[in-house]
Structures are given as C-alpha cells and as structure tokens.
C-alpha cells in the first residue's frame, strides 16, 4: 500500500490545524530533540487506583513505535481520522508498553506559558515529560510522515487493541496499542486524557496530562 493511498480514506479532523508560526517552532525543536539521548523513566511512584473520571469527550489514542526507538502518541477524534496531535516521546516503545502491563502509568507533559502567544494547549511545540512523577526527557509535536500515515491506515478499522505491524526497520518490529480515551478540558491551559478499559477492574491504566504553567 502506498503512502498516497493511506491518506485517502483517513478523515480530516474537525479541529483547526497548527498556526504557521507554531509549525516553524516545532520543526526547530524537533531537530534539536532528535539529538537528545533517550532517558528511561523508573515509573515506580505509587498512585491511587480510583482516579478514573467519567464525562468529557471520547477520543481515540494510539501509541506506536519500533521496539528500539522512541514511542509516538497520536490523539484522534475517532479511529478513522487523522490525528489532531502527534507527539514523539523520549521513552523507548518497549519500555513504556512493558511498564503499562505492570500497572498504572501517569504521563505529565508540561510547558511554560508565553503571554505574547495565544495558541491552544495542544499546539505547543515541545513539552517536558514526566512519567509517574519522574522527569523522563521531552516530548515534541510533529507532523505525520509517510510511515505514520501507513500505521494509521492499517489501524483504520481498529477502535481498541494491541499488536505488531509488519515493518522493515533496524529498530525492530513496530508495536502499537490503541484505545478510547476520555478527554477532559480543565481550562485553556490544561487537558487530561484517561484511557478507558472495557473492564475497569483489569487491564493497563494510562493517564496523560497536558499542563501549561507559569
């Protein structure tokens, strides 16, 4: 399947695209970010087990990446749409998915407010990344590339699930996890995404917090 075909059946999201100034910034940060070493989080801080929040908007989230590379996080309006957000996280794919199988994971993404710019919290180009309270590097927003579009096309009809996609890459096979998330908008400077499990008593738990501070 060619990258051109992969774009055809994916729906455009209803939300607005990034402002051109933000795109320039994220390209600059992305170039710097790729030179950083991967920092593996310990993810051992105890957390409460009853923090699931009902309400909000239902979204689709996709975690994917090659085993020996950084993991990517895509947020979609639904499983058949292009992402409204695509982040590259400074955590190895294999490490994060393994930790998720062991318990609850909280990812906090923080950035500083810039009073001179009024953009959506999800349009920020770079974030400081914390996993269960411990700093784990950075997260950088980027535009979907050809491989990203191929992954999304392969998962076009998948609303929930985990598995491996065929890939020829020196970083190992491409692993994915897709689930529904509740999107809670706290303010113009904060959003939270809670992964929804069909069975609330079992399965991995993941919460993602976007916070603009200062």
pLDDT at 102: 84
179-201, pLDDT tens digit by residue?
Answer: 999 999 999 999 999 999 766 55
What are the residue ranges spanned by the domains of the chain?
3-43+56-213
Positive or negative torsion for Cα 164, 65, 70, 53: negative
Q: Is the pLDDT of residue 3 over 70?
A: no
pLDDT at 175: 94
DSSP letter for 80, please. Answer: T
First to last CA, the chain: 46
Beta strands in the chain (DSSP E): 57-66, 70-76, 83-92, 104-112, 126-131, 134-141, 161-165, 174-187, 190-196, 205-213
pLDDT at 4: 44
């Amino acid at each position: 399947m060619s990258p051109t075909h992969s774009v055809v059946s994916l729906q455009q999201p209803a939300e607005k695209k990034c402002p051109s100034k933000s795109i320039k910034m994220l390209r600059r940060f992305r170039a710097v970010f790729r030179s950083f070493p991967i920092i593996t989080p310990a993810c051992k801080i105890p957390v409460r087990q009853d923090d699931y929040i009902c309400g909000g908007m239902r979204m689709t989230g996709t975690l994917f990446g090659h085993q020996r590379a950084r993991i990517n996080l895509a947020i979609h309006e639904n499983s058949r749409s292009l992402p409204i957000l695509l982040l590259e996280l400074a955590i190895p794919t294999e490490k994060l998915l393994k930790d998720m199988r062991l318990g609850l994971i909280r990812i906090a993404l923080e950035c500083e407010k810039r009073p001179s710019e009024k953009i959506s919290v999800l349009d920020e180009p770079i974030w400081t990344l914390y996993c269960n309270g411990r700093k784990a590097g950075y997260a950088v927003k980027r535009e979907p590339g050809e491989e990203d579009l191929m992954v999304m096309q392969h998962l076009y009809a998948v609303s929930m699930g985990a598995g491996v996609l065929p890939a020829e890459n020196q970083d190992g096979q491409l692993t994915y996890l897709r689930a529904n998330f509740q999107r809670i908008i706290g303010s113009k400077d904060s959003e939270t995404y809670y992964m929804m499990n069909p069975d609330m008593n079992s399965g991995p738990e993941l919460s993602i917090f976007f916070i603009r501070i200062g």
